[in-house]
Structure 1
Amino acid sequence: MYKINVFTAKLSLSWVQQLEKIKPSFCEFHYYAYTDFEDLYALLEQHLAVGDGALFSGQIPYFFAQTRFQEATVPMLYFDISERDFYHALTELFYEKKIAMDRIAIDFCYEENGYLGIHEWSIGKKPYLFSQTMNEFASNDIIDKAADWHIQLHTENKVDLSFTRVAEMRERLARHNIPFIAFYPSPYAMQLTLDNLVHQLQLQQLNQNKVVVVHILIPIDKANIDELEYRQIALYKAILDFKQMYANSFIVHREASSIAIITTYKHFLTTTNSYTHCHLVDFLDDKLSFPVKIGWGIGNSLLESQEFAKKAATLCSSKETQGYIIENGREIGPLLYGTLLQFDDEKQQHLKNLSAAYDIPLLQLQKIEVMLEKLTTTIVSGELLSTHLGITVRSANRILKQLQEKSLADELPNITSATRGRPKKYYQIKLY
């Protein structure tokens, strides 16, 4: 049973409750009517997060919720006028009352709803539109602005009729003897919105129930095989402690040199702060005296998730505890101790472009980029790169030399040192 909270202006409550006529058996609606923004804020604060989804009587309360409760994760939609409703009303006006399109003021046509198609057939005789974008409705004084706009157009004799979607507008326009038509979504339009919300809820439920696999790999020291048994025991105990912290929401499976954890997508989001920070990395880094590789796998089946998890673990460095995520082939990471991963699609696209243009492995560029963010500097040495990428100093120096040759790094002048030996080379990385 889905619990859907419906937030509506009191003036719109009567038509909003038509939802009861089209209510699916697996949904229950809870109605919350407000008189002003202060009242709406209190209702949202109390009820928004405790429902599975939210519906709004119009774009004003919807935008209010979007701007004041940006952390809300429940799906939210608002009821709008459909083109079918809009043109049904226009037909009577044009053909029976002979109202011209360019003598109408409309406060609910904007780019986001395709201007309800008016630009496609009203060439030369366009109506007055309150705003070109819905973003205008995000302001606190939107009702005053829209009312003043309608009143001014009628005062200047530019229009004969106003179309409004704002419930609070009726009283204001009537007070100034302004002819208007108040539009409400028809049951047909409400059904479309409700179907859309239910679809989102069903997809969300599928995602929440999706199986996620964690593969934790213990790097094997071939020179000290006896150490492996100790590490297995220590890791297993640490995982059980971590499991208790999350109310036993994991299934733990112990293997020879690794541990597998099975959990749900919902718990994955919690333990990785929605892909940005891995609490498991922090916990194991604190608890263990040796590094482990943590791979998260998210696929369309348990087997696929297991494969992704194992592959993700191999992407991690063997010199420090790290985490990597692979979701349907998409690689995200590394997730490092105490570091928040800012997974920026625009930034990732830039790295992909560099990878293609300079023939450099994308994963290598991603690891370097995360390392620079962690160190908060673009100046590194081969030794520093070696430590953070889990490679030999020789390989790290070769990578830095290649970056220099491709103008993605500059070699800095040697710093004079009183110590013996060859001076270290430092490079300034230039990925951006």
Structure 2
Amino acid sequence: MLNKIRLGLFGAEDSIEIMKSVIVNFPEFTIVPVSYWQDDEIIEKLLAHEEKVDMWLFSGPIPYKFAKRGSGITKSMFYVPYSGSSLYKTLLQISYHQQIPFNQISYDTFRPDELRQVAVELEVSLEPLYVNCYEGEIHTDEVVRYHYELWKKGQTKAAVTCLKNAQHELLNLGVPAFRVLPSQSAIISTLSLIRQTQETIHFKDSQIAVQMIEFDSFLSLTKDSFSTDEIHRVEIKMTEKLLEYAKEINGSLKYAGPGRYVIFTTRGILQEATKGFTQVPDPGKRELTANDAVTSGIGIGQTVYEAEINSGTALLHAKEHGNGSMMVVFDDKTISGPLGQPEQITYDFSSEHLQSISEKTALSVTTLSKLESILRKLGKKEINAHELAQQMKIMPRSARRILTELEGNGLAQVVAEETIHPRGRPRKVYQIELK
């Protein structure tokens, strides 16, 4: 049986009260309400309550989008979509009390096609003309400015917003502003999705996780203490440290040969210890120091065998990044790391699409997947050899070889040259198309 889900409710106070009135009928949830007013409060308030919740439910897409772009928030996040029924109620209020035509109202949050569908269902022949739809987060003052400028020019007679603070500011400016609130049906639908997600997470948390650890005992020796007895003492000390670490993560330690150990535990425990597979576990908890030169790979799998194979693969990739590195291979054959590094990337080493490219070039699927992940992380298709070398932690000449190989096979082309130093050679900028 699953434990109760600690659900953080985030939004304006009145929206939270509406959500609470629905969620009280679902005993599997306990509620942690967190209200906000200003945009700049969102991340700070979420982080302050992050450890008190299992999942977040936002009253709408705007605070949700701010949270998605924030750092340090690791819990699953959902928001209540503004369904047709909640908009119908608002439009009926405007029609009944204000008698304002559909096409003389400005809207935010909704997509034009959603509003057109509402017009069809309400049998309104007028098209919505003023719709501020946005993909990412948007600040309240931008929403207010959009509605206010239209109203001030006489193009609209009212505004429909999904933000309480935007409605408040618009009313202060004299704009007839109406707000769309979460509907009961949309809240119930989102709660169902949250429950399904929690069941999936519970299953994943119970998956087998294997951490393969390798250390070089010679690095702990000095010239004066170089002896087989001293090496043996170093290994005994390391075993003691790893036993303490295994105890911390409820795992069992297995000796796997000189300088190599394996710990068996569960995905959920390691995910918590590594803060969502982004950080190296606290050295204090591991009873390890920086001088221990521990390199490790974490493998996740449906079976012990699969997890152990994946941990070995992760260790090999970690060793490419040097002593002290840690990588993770998941059961879907994606790999992530190095943990704790600002340049951490996640890539796939079993992609069929990249396999076909690999067969045409001298580049491995892993190299191509790393490149694809780096471009996705940077949010662009252009890169130079120096930048690629930094991201991949390889020599610039190796990065140039990768780019030249892609260019020779029609997968990259030089689109610019950058001159960093007056006497230096210009750096070629390549546009990559892994098709």
Cα distance change on mapping 1:144 and 1:306 into 2, 3 Å? same
- Structure 1 pair 261/244, CA: closer, same or farther in 2 (3 Å)? same
Q: Which residue of 2 aligns with 1:151?
A: 151
Match of 2:308 in 1: 306
| Mapped pair 1:15 → 2:18 | yes
- One-letter amino acid of the structure 2 residue matched with residue 128 of structure 1: L
1:361-420 deviation line (CA, Å, top 9, x unaligned): 33477899999547663237xxxxxxxxxxxxxxxxxxx9xx989969xxxxxxxxxxxx
> What secondary structure, in the 3-state scheme, does the structure 2 residue paired with 1:138 have?
coil
Offset of residue 265 of structure 1: 2.2
Q: Which structure 1 segments of 5+ residues have no match?
A: 220-226, 381-399, 409-429
Question: Which letter does structure 2 place at the counterpart of 1:106?
Answer: Y
- Rounded to whole Å, the distance in 2 between the matches of 1:151 and 1:366 is 50
Identity, in percent, stands at 16
Structure 2, unpaired ranges of 5+: 217-226, 372-384, 410-429
What's the offset of the Cα at 1:109? 1.1
Are residue 286 (structure 1) and residue 291 (structure 2) matched? yes
Evaluate the alpha carbon distance shift between residue 229 and residue 90 of structure 1 in structure 2; reply closer, same or farther with a 3 A threshold: farther
Q: Which among 197, 200, 203 is matched to residue 200 of structure 1?
A: 197
Q: What is the aligned partner in structure 2 of residue 379 from structure 1?
A: 397
Residue of structure 1 equivalent to 2:264: 262
Which digits, 9 at most, give the CA deviation of each residue in 1:158-213, with x for residues without a partner? 33543332224555555677555432222111112222233333333333333211
3-state secondary structure, aligned to 2:10: strand
Q: Corresponding residue for 2:416?
A: none
Which one of 140, 160, 163 corresponds to residue 163 of structure 1?
160
1:149/1:204 CA distance change after superposition, 3 Å: farther
Q: What is the CA-CA distance between 1:41 and the residue it aligns to?
A: 6.4
Mapped partners of 1:184, 1:133: distance in 2: 19
* Aligned residue among 277, 297, 300 for 2:299: 297
Is the CA contact 1:218–1:231 (under 8 Å) kept in the aligned structure 2? Answer: no
User: Which is worse superposed, 85-94 or 57-66?
Assistant: 85-94
Secondary structure in structure 2 of the residue aligned to 1:141: helix
Is the Cα–Cα contact under 8 Å of residues 77 and 193 in structure 1 kept in the other structure? yes
Instruction: Indicate if the aligned counterparts of 1:277 and 1:340 stay in contact, CA closer than 8 A.
Output: no
Cα–Cα, structure 1 residues 360 and 163, in superposed 2: closer, same or farther, change >3 Å?
Answer: closer
**Distance (Å, rounded) in 2 between the aligned partners of 1:62 and 1:167:** 15
* Conserved 8 A contact 1:161-1:180: yes
AA of the residue aligned to 2:359: A
Q: How many residues align structurally?
A: 374
Task: From the superposition, tell whether residues 274 and 286 of structure 1 become closer, same or farther in structure 2 (CA, over 3 Å).
Answer: farther
Largest Rg, 1 or 2: 1
**Distance apart, 1:148 and its partner CA:** 1.5
SS of aligned partner of 1:18:
helix
Q: Distance in 2 between matches of 1:163 and 1:405?
A: 51
- Which digits, 9 at most, give the CA deviation of each residue in 1:320-372, with x for residues without a partner? 75655432252537859x96653255999897675232144334778999995
With over 3 angstroms needed to count, the CA separation of the structure-2 counterparts of 1:188 and 1:271, relative to structure 1, is closer
Please give the secondary structure, in 2, of the residue aligned with 1:328: coil
Identify if the C-alpha distance between structure 1 residues 192 and 356 changes in structure 2 by more than 3 Å, giving closer, same or farther.
Answer: same
Q: Deviations over 1:252-288 (max 9, x none)?
A: 1234565321123244346667556766999698336
CA RMSD of aligned residues (A): 5.3
8 Å contact from structure 2 (residues 10, 36) kept in 1: yes
Where does residue 33 of structure 1 map in the other structure? 35
1:251 to partner: Cα distance? 1.7
Alignment-mate amino acid for residue 58 of structure 2: F
1:4 aligns with 2:7: yes
The question of whether the paired residues in 2 share the 8 Å contact of 1:164 and 1:183 is answered with yes
Asked if 1 retains the 8 angstrom alpha-carbon contact of 2:38 and 2:165, the reply is: no
- The secondary structure found in structure 2 opposite 1:77 is strand
Cα distance in 1 between the residues matched to 2:135 and 2:43: 20
- The aligned residue for residue 134 of structure 2 is 133
Checking the alignment, whether the CA contact within 8 Å between 2:210 and 2:299 is kept in structure 1 is: yes
Distance 1:367 1:269, change over 3 A: same
TM-aligned CA distance change 1:364 to 1:145, over 3 Å: closer
Aligned equivalents of 2:356, 2:289: Cα separation in 1 = 35
Q: State the distance in 1 between where 2:188 and 2:131 align.
A: 27
**Cα 1:320–1:371, aligned 2, differ >3 Å: closer, same or farther?**
farther
